[in-house]
Structure 1
Amino acid sequence: MTKVIRGKIFVLDDNIDTDQIIPAEYLTLVPSKPDEYEKLGSYALAGLPDRYGKFIPPGEIKTTYPIIVAGENFGCGSSREHAPIALGASGVKAVIAESYARIFFRNCAATGELYPWESQERLCDKFETGHEVSIDFETNQLINHTLNQIYNLKPLGEIGPVIDAGGIFAYARQTGMISSR
């Protein structure tokens, strides 16, 4: 069975840092507590400049955009795991960027919150927020249904099964690397 994520995209450009993804004032929220996890998600991308528009609709706690398309160096800044957790808690399933800050990419694997796809070309200049897209995991393709265009993505590689499992510890238990007791 082919795995596909489909929905509207939210478009960002270069150097979206962890302060923009989840401002420091919300880092007191504890993601392991379900109500605080939900609240953390409601603040995802709250640090963005106004020119991007609202990621979370007013009065809501979830986004209507399960996919983010961004430019270079997504997730730069601090090493906070709260960044991919906040995006995942908000309803984001995947980010497609030209490149990632290494620690953000690693935190995606550690937390299992979202898939960090890398584009093979600059997509943030070709797409607009609200376009309907799908990501096909089998073909490593992003299909823009609004523009009727297909773009190749770099394969997820070894990180895919780790995120499928729900993060590095769940993957280690699942594969017998650590005891599941």
Structure 2
Amino acid sequence: MRGEVAVRWWFKARRGHVLLPLALVVFAAALFAVQDVTVILPALAGNTQIALSVFVPVPLLAVLMTVLESRLPAAEASAVRSVNRLDCLLITAVLAAGVLCGFLVSAVQGTATAACAGRNAAFLAGLMLLGRAWAGQAAVMIPVGWLFLVSLTGFHANVPHTWTIVALPADNSFAATVSLVALAVGLAAQIRTSRKTA
């Protein structure tokens, strides 16, 4: 019973009950809205045509960072349950919901573009969590920086380079593997960061 109260307290302190459902609704709605829309952006080697859905995970990750930063260090240091573990479960659940949203929108639309969004959210979240270990809340800008780098130098004749990850097709196994590895490394960094700040 005490453990359940602690979990409820932790979730309310994180404002997850308000922010996360809203973020996931916005994520799914944005995916549905952009569909197969592409935009032309300036790049070092000329203009680049990039799917607008590549940018959809950014608000979800911004909310996730806000939730993680909504903490009470003194209280969490003496918590009954491991806050590190709860935070990692929360991150994993949000990203799993993002992947599910991507596949559902993709199934409804009959296109593969939306299916990439969940994978991309996992990859960008891994980068963000890794950066959070040394940059704190400012690490929320790392996914934005990665997307800027991809749009600037990630294409040759509108074909994405392999290192971009986020611009690769939904069925690309390399992108899926790298995204999972990035997320795992990010979660490990999250545990280490939480121990330092608790």
Same structural fold, with TM-score higher than 0.5 when normalized by the shorter chain: no
More strand per residue: 1 or 2? 1
More helix per residue: 1 or 2? 2
The TM-score, its normalising length taken from structure 2, stands at 0.26
Structure of greater Rg: 2
